[in-house]
């Protein structure tokens, strides 16, 4: 779908006359008492006003800044003119999980950061208008739910995270019979098992799952990939396979005391309040305790805000660089500060302190100073000898990022060609070294965002349809997945 790249009448200088507005937000004192989403929605008039601030530049940098290359100026123009159904359709044409991905999108680091009016005024509120349009699409029943005529193709999707769901969505729209396999009991991947409900309520993900089920997508959850289904079942029973599961390992801390019982990874704690824990998994209790979180990304911010809601006595984020270098969304950082989180910048841990009973009592930190920019374009730092100091804490969470898992146990096709780092090698259509097996997201990129997983999945879905169309015109068991083409 395309839309006219036209500027709404009278909107030429709206950026200078209409103040940037965001979404209405619940007071911090109210929202820290629960795990509900903190944002509401703007109304139609406000959505039109905010969209009118876009100047419709001929080479929009916001599109280049979006991993999905969304048609941002076009759907902003349609919104400004009040054409909400058309705007919502255009928005969702580049992201089949827009209603969920928008919630966790760091727009202030992406499209809004590259908005051309930055420096002269605050950028266009792309994120706020997206939220409005996504809700509009569902509330006005504009999301395609009908089951199209079957085309005879059967596709297996391994992984029910954002990439797997996006691939299933794309293929089911075109008549494919899609079965999604996942080892977890709930679909959603990191949207459910890595995102707190105050940023993305599970009902938002479930809404998309319901759409997929209505369209005929089958979900087989809580299964052992490689055994149920087995490699042989996948090869014999499906025309193509998409591998879209996560393959990441949380980084650990290599300092004395890092294995003390009071040191935990952040991710399991973040989702603890929203999921039923297995009987053999005791909850992490922070009530009345001083909590420190090491790291500066979105996972660290999510962990800090979760600890506040779980009744921690004090909650402090500790980051080795300065505030300006925080990789987290600025929006979420400001929300954390509003909710009572404190931050210590330019300090790096050199030891975890404990008592004679093995409990955590604090951290030993050393102050750091900036040291230029590294090859990865990130601000570097060096420690200052003689500046060590102790910081009290009784629970410490690690949010230090993720490394690739070069040999994920969930991969039923270990023979696929991989790079030196273990990442699967794919072609331009996301197909691996084995014909008919496609992959994307973490398996190909290393740890990445939901937006990149969706982008890969959309490319793979198009590649799957092209691959099958070229090989045959109807179902034929002799040319199923993994079988080299004849001739």
Max Cα-Cα span within the chain: 73
Q: Are residues 312 and 439 in the same domain?
A: no
Residue 149 covered by a domain: no
Mean pLDDT score, 256-277? 90
Q: Are residues 261 and 193 in the same domain?
A: no
- pLDDT level of residue 477 (50, 70, 90 thresholds): very low
Assign residue 4 a region: left if phi > 0, alpha if psi is -120 to 50, beta otherwise?
beta
Contact of 91 with 98, CB cutoff 8 Å? yes
**Is pLDDT larger for residue 485 or for residue 167?**
167
Q: Are residues 240 and 282 in the same domain?
A: no
pLDDT at 482: 63
Q: Mind listing the pLDDT tens digit for each residue in 160-208?
A: 999 999 999 999 999 999 999 999 999 999 999 999 999 999 999 999 9
Q: Final residue of a domain: which of 371, 400, 429?
A: 400
- For the cut 60, the answer to whether the pLDDT of residue 12 exceeds it is no
Instruction: Give 279: exposed, middle or buried? Use CB within 10 Å, 0-12, 13-18, 19+.
Output: exposed
Edge to edge, what strands does the sheet with 290-294 contain?
263-265, 395-398, 290-294, 314-319, 342-345
Residue 146 covered by a domain: no
- pLDDT level of residue 484 (50, 70, 90 thresholds): low
Contact of 17 with 48, CB cutoff 8 Å? no
Residue 445 covered by a domain: yes
Answer yes or no: pTM beyond 0.85. Answer: yes
Q: Are residues 349 and 366 in the same domain?
A: yes
- For the cut 60, the answer to whether the pLDDT of residue 3 exceeds it is no
pLDDT at 472: 62
pLDDT at 404: 87
- For the cut 70, the answer to whether the pLDDT of residue 11 exceeds it is no
Q: Mind listing the pLDDT tens digit for each residue in 15-40?
A: 888 999 989 999 999 999 999 999 99
Residue 484 covered by a domain: no
Instruction: Give 13: exposed, middle or buried? Use CB within 10 Å, 0-12, 13-18, 19+.
Output: exposed
DSSP for 351-364 reads EEEE-TTS-EEEEE
Contact of 365 with 257, CB cutoff 8 Å? no
Q: Are residues 109 and 77 in the same domain?
A: yes
Cβ neighbours for 125, distance < 8 A, ≥ 6 positions apart: 20, 21, 22, 50, 53, 112
Residue 147 covered by a domain: no
Rounded CA separation 97/62 (Å): 19
Rounded CA separation 295/300 (Å): 6
pLDDT at 411: 85
Q: Are residues 471 and 439 in the same domain?
A: yes
Q: Final residue of a domain: which of 373, 400, 427?
A: 400
Residue 148 CB coordination number (10 Å): 13
pLDDT at 49: 95
Q: Are residues 396 and 409 in the same domain?
A: no
Contact of 182 with 164, CB cutoff 8 Å? yes
Q: Which of 115-119, 128-132, 150-154, 278-282 has the lowest mean pLDDT?
A: 278-282
Q: Final residue of a domain: which of 374, 400, 426?
A: 400
Mean pLDDT score, 309-330? 95
Residue 420 covered by a domain: yes
- pLDDT level of residue 149 (50, 70, 90 thresholds): very high
Say what percent of the chain tops pLDDT 90: 75
398: part of which helix (H) or strand (E)?
A: strand 395-398
Q: Are residues 394 and 353 in the same domain?
A: yes
pLDDT at 406: 78
**Helix, strand, or coil (residue 124):** coil
Alpha helices, H only, 32-147: 44-51, 61-65, 72-80, 84-92, 98-104, 126-139
Domain that holds residue 220: 154-248+404-479
Q: Are residues 184 and 266 in the same domain?
A: no
Q: Are residues 391 and 364 in the same domain?
A: yes
Rounded CA separation 207/212 (Å): 9
- pLDDT level of residue 4 (50, 70, 90 thresholds): very low
pLDDT at 5: 43
- pLDDT level of residue 290 (50, 70, 90 thresholds): very high
CATH code for the domain in which residue 431 is found:
3.50.50.60
**Helix, strand, or coil (residue 219):** strand
- Count of the separate structural domains present in the chain: 3
pLDDT at 331: 94
Q: Mind listing the pLDDT tens digit for each residue in 391-438?
A: 999 999 999 999 888 778 778 998 999 998 889 999 999 999 999 999
pLDDT at 485: 47
Alpha helices, H only, 93-161: 98-104, 126-139
- pLDDT level of residue 452 (50, 70, 90 thresholds): very high
pLDDT at 144: 85
Residue 243 covered by a domain: yes
Residue 310 covered by a domain: yes
- For the cut 80, the answer to whether the pLDDT of residue 471 exceeds it is no
Mean pLDDT score, 112-119? 90
Closest Cα partner for 161 from 365, 359, 439?
Answer: 439
Pairing of strands 218-221, 240-243: unpaired
Closest Cα partner for 450 from 200, 180, 90?
Answer: 200
Pairing of strands 347-354, 360-373: antiparallel
Of the CA atoms within 13 Å of residue 43, those in its CB half-sphere come to: 1
Cβ neighbours for 53, distance < 8 A, ≥ 6 positions apart: 11, 14, 15, 18, 20, 117, 124, 125
- For the cut 50, the answer to whether the pLDDT of residue 478 exceeds it is no
Closest Cα partner for 352 from 296, 402, 294, 437?
Answer: 294
- What's the chain's average pLDDT? 90
> What is the CA angle 436-439-445, rounded to 5?
150
Q: Mind listing the pLDDT tens digit for each residue in 359-388?
A: 999 999 999 998 887 776 777 889 999 999
Q: Are residues 452 and 392 in the same domain?
A: no
CATH code for the domain in which residue 126 is found:
1.10.1060.10
Q: Are residues 306 and 369 in the same domain?
A: yes
Cα–Cα distance list, 394 to 45, 53, 283, 417 (Å): 49, 48, 15, 45
- For the cut 90, the answer to whether the pLDDT of residue 353 exceeds it is yes
Closest Cα partner for 157 from 174, 135, 186, 179?
Answer: 179
């Amino acid at each position: 779908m395309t839309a006219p790249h036209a500027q709404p009448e009278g909107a030429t200088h709206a950026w200078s006359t209409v103040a940037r507005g965001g979404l209405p937000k619940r007071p911090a004192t109210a929202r820290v008492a629960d795990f509900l989403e903190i944002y509401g929605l703007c109304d139609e008039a406000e959505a039109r006003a905010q969209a009118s601030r876009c100047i419709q530049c001929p080479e929009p940098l916001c599109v280049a800044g979006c991993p999905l290359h969304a048609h941002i100026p076009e759907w902003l123009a349609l919104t400004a003119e009040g054409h909400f159904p058309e705007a919502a359709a255009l928005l969702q044409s580049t992201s089949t999980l827009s209603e969920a991905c928008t919630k966790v999108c760091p727009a202030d680091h992406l499209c809004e950061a590259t908005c051309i009016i930055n420096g002269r005024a605050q950028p266009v509120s792309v994120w706020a208008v997206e939220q409005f349009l996504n809700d509009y699409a569902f509330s006005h029943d504009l999301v395609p739910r009908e089951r199209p005529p079957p085309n005879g193709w059967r596709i297996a999707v391994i992984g029910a995270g954002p990439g797997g769901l996006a691939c299933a969505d794309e293929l089911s729209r075109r008549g494919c019979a899609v079965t999604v396999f996942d080892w977890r009991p709930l679909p959603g991947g990191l949207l459910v098992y890595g995102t707190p409900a105050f940023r993305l309520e599970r009902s938002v993900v479930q809404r998309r799952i319901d759409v997929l089920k209505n369209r005929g997508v089958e979900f087989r959850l809580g299964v052992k990939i490689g055994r149920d289904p087995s490699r042989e079942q996948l090869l014999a029973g499906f025309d193509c396979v998409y591998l879209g599961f996560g393959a990441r390992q949380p980084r650990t801390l290599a300092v004395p005391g890092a294995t003390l019982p009071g040191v935990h990874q952040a991710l399991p704690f973040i989702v603890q309040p929203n999921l039923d824990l297995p009987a053999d998994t005791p909850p992490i209790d922070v009530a009345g305790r001083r909590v420190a979180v090491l790291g500066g990304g979105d996972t660290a911010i999510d962990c800090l805000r979760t600890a506040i809601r779980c009744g921690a006595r004090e909650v402090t984020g500790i980051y080795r660089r300065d505030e300006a270098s925080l990789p987290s969304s600025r929006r979420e950082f400001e929300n954390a500060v509003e909710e009572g989180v404190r931050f210590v910048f330019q300090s790096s841990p050199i030891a975890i302190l404990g008592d004679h009973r093995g409990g955590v009592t604090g951290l030993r930190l050393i102050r750091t100073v900036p040291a230029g920019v590294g090859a990865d374009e990130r601000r570097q730092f060096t420690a200052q000898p003689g500046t060590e100091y102790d910081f009290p804490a009784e629970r410490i969470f690690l949010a230090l990022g993720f490394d690739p898992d070069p040999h994920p146990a969930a991969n039923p096709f270990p023979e696929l060609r991989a790079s030196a780092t273990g990442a699967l090698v794919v072609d331009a259509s996301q197909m691996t070294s084995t014909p008919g097996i496609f992959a994307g997201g973490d398996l190909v990129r290393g740890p990445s965002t939901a937006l990149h997983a969706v982008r890969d999945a959309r490319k793979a879905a198009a590649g799957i349809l092209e691959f099958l169309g070229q090989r045959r015109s109807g179902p034929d068991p002799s040319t199923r997945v993994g079988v080299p083409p004849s001739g």
